[in-house]
């Protein structure tokens, strides 16, 4: 008797079907996050690479207003550098134009706080969905294992009810049960790989934002 994939699907019980459906949704969810994060990080990298030399030249020429306009342009809306520098530049310009008699240290401190807030918000946005990937990677094998355990229990219960013994009596049920474990691993491994890859990308973006923020603060110190 042949017992292929279609035969195993047809012989699956309610628990096995439910387990594999859950794993299927987990797989679709993780793939969706992978595609969305890859696109977002690609946009951030591309736009920041084009933005950095432009804003550096404007700051060098003392054109803070132009630098603010550049940072707020639509074509830089995904740039992590533009978001961070925009907050610092706007606060710096506000302090300069307010005429409140604030000291240089107070102006720089206010700009630094604005940069820190923008960095925290941007990091939260960059990390969006990564917790979901980590959850899928950590739990999918256990979901599959649950399906396997239930399937093996059902296989042995069937053997007890029929009174037949031997490995042949339970081999089909065990094969069906092990599909859930294999599916769970198939879902988990790409999710873990993607999570580690995207986490590394976020760390790189964090370093770039910190460096750009430090350079902006140095610029403010010279201009104040």
Note whether 148 and 182 are within 8 A (CB).
no
Which DSSP state fits 166? S
Note whether 8 and 176 are within 8 A (CB).
yes
The percentage of the chain sitting over the pLDDT mark of 90, rounded to a whole number, equals 50
pLDDT at 149 over 90: no
- Distance between CA atoms of 40 and 134, rounded to whole angstroms? 18
- Distance between CA atoms of 76 and 83, rounded to whole angstroms? 8
- Tell me what pLDDT residue 223 has: 66
If you average pLDDT over residues 51-67, what whole number do you get? 89
Top pLDDT among 112 and 165 is at: 112
Note whether 158 and 150 are within 8 A (CB).
no
Q: What is the pLDDT of residues 70-82, one digit of tens each?
A: 999 999 999 999 9
If you average pLDDT over residues 110-114, what whole number do you get? 88
Note whether 186 and 153 are within 8 A (CB).
no
If you average pLDDT over residues 98-127, what whole number do you get? 84
CA separation (Å) from 208 to 52, 57, 204?
Answer: 10, 18, 6
- On average, the pLDDT of the chain sits at 84
132 backbone φψ class: left, alpha, beta (φ>0; ψ -120 to 50): alpha
- Tell me what pLDDT residue 1 has: 44
The pLDDT-based confidence of 83 (bands split at 50, 70, 90) is very high
Q: What is the pLDDT of residues 21-42, one digit of tens each?
A: 899 999 999 999 999 999 999 9
- Tell me what pLDDT residue 135 has: 95
The percentage of the chain sitting over the pLDDT mark of 70, rounded to a whole number, equals 83
Q: Which of 182, 190, 198, 206 is nearest to 39 (CA)?
A: 198
- Tell me what pLDDT residue 4 has: 53
Note whether 185 and 50 are within 8 A (CB).
no
- Distance between CA atoms of 80 and 41, rounded to whole angstroms? 9
3 backbone φψ class: left, alpha, beta (φ>0; ψ -120 to 50): beta
Tokens found for residue 98: 């307010």
- Distance between CA atoms of 207 and 161, rounded to whole angstroms? 64
- Distance between CA atoms of 111 and 214, rounded to whole angstroms? 11
75 burial type by CB count under 10 A (0-12 exposed, 13-18 middle, 19+ buried): exposed
- Tell me what pLDDT residue 2 has: 47
- Tell me what pLDDT residue 7 has: 56
The pLDDT-based confidence of 96 (bands split at 50, 70, 90) is confident
């Amino acid at each position: 008797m042949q017992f292929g994939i279609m035969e195993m699907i047809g012989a699956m019980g309610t628990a096995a079907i439910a387990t594999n459906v859950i794993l299927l949704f987990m797989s679709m969810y993780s793939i969706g996050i992978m595609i969305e994060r890859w696109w977002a990080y690609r946009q951030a990298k591309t736009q920041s690479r084009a933005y950095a030399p432009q804003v550096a030249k404007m700051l060098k020429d003392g054109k803070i207003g132009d630098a603010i306009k550049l940072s707020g342009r639509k074509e830089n809306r995904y740039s992590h550098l533009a978001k961070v520098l925009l907050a610092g530049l706007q606060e710096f310009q506000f302090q300069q134009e307010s005429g409140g008699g604030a000291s240089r240290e107070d102006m720089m401190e206010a700009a630094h706080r604005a940069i820190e807030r923008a960095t925290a918000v941007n990091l939260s946005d960059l990390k969006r969905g990564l917790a979901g990937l980590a959850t899928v990677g950590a739990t999918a094998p256990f979901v599959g294992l649950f399906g396997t355990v239930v399937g093996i229990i059902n296989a042995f219960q069937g053997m007890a009810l029929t009174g037949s013994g031997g490995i042949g009596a339970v081999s089909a049920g065990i094969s069906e049960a092990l599909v859930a474990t294999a599916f769970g691993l198939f879902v988990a491994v790409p999710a873990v790989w993607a999570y580690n890859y995207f986490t590394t990308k976020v760390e790189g973006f964090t370093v770039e934002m910190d460096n750009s923020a430090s350079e902006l603060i140095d610029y403010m110190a010279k201009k104040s």
